[in-house]
Amino acid sequence: MPPTPTPHPHPQQTAHTHSLTDPETFWTTHANRLHWAQKPTQALTQRTKTLPSGVQHEHWSWFPDGEISTSYNCVDRHVENGLGEQVAIIWESPVTGITEEYTYRRLLDEVEVLAGVLREEGYVGLLCSALLCSHRSYDLRQYIHQDV
């Protein structure tokens, strides 16, 4: 009787195991796929944090010395890489049944207008939060591409 082949673990299980057994390498590899204003020198630091109540717990800081723009990584770089006309977001209204597509270029234009308004109103520090809230309020669904 031939030997039973050993089943290969699912790729998600392999990634999960790698993230737990060697988190520094795992997260550094993924961080290298992004654009950083200041590239981090390490993926994470771990320490014990003490709360005012005296309770202690483990605290992890991710990419503590890195600086990154989520907006640039999610939108701008795709336009710069020639993907401006590719659909980035599909908006579907469950109330009206309307579906609308936003290309990366259109999304970049909208983000720049919103950023300008917020800057003029003095909300520069809240740009990311405001953008995320506006996306949530419109029930946007982003298609995530594997070749990010």
User: What is the β-pairing status of strands 87-92 and 99-103?
Assistant: antiparallel
What number is the average pLDDT over the span 92-117?
A: 91
pLDDT at 110 (0 to 100): 92
Q: What are phi and psi of 47, to 5 degrees?
A: -150, 170
Q: How confident is the model at residue 141 (pLDDT cuts 50, 70, 90)?
A: very low
- In the predicted model, is pLDDT for residue 92 greater than 80? yes
pTM, full prediction: 0.65
- In the predicted model, is pLDDT for residue 147 greater than 50? no
Q: What are phi and psi of 69, to 5 degrees?
A: -110, 110
- In the predicted model, is pLDDT for residue 146 greater than 70? no
Handedness of CA 30, 33, 38, 41 (dihedral sign): positive
Q: Which helix (H) or strand (E) element contains residue 127?
A: helix 127-137
Q: Which residues 6+ apart lie within 8 Å of 5 measured at CB?
A: none
pLDDT per residue over 16-59, tens digit each? 999 999 999 999 999 999 999 999 999 999 999 999 999 999 99
